[in-house]
Amino acid sequence: MWRKSTLASFVVAVVLSLSLNACKDAKTQQENEQLKAQVADLQKQNGEMGNNLETVTASRDALAKENDSLKAEIAGMKSKKPRKKALSRKHRRAQAA
């Protein structure tokens, strides 16, 4: 009788441990699925950020070129302005009439 009781306890312990492991496996699998979903979302965001970075870089380059051309245009305008001649300090004699 003692053997049957020990054997029954052992069987119950094995069944409980297997069910507990199955429960842990289910929980672990659920966590893995959630993590996979998060990784997929992060990869999507990373791709979008890469595209945004390329767009912003292209815009920055275009603005830099435009800025350089405007600076050159301004420099060209400054050099084209005629300079006023310095007034002579000599007094001109008025012609007597």
Question: Taking Cα atoms as reference points, which of 21, 40, 41, 17 lies closest to residue 29?
Answer: 21
- Give yes or no for residue 97 having a pLDDT over 80: no
- The reply to whether the predicted model has a pTM over 0.75 is no
End-to-end CA distance of the chain: give it in Å, rounded. 155
Give tens-digit pLDDT for 72-90.
Answer: 988 888 776 666 666 666 6
Give tens-digit pLDDT for 22-49.
Answer: 777 778 888 999 999 999 999 999 999 9
Higher model confidence: residue 21 or residue 31? 31
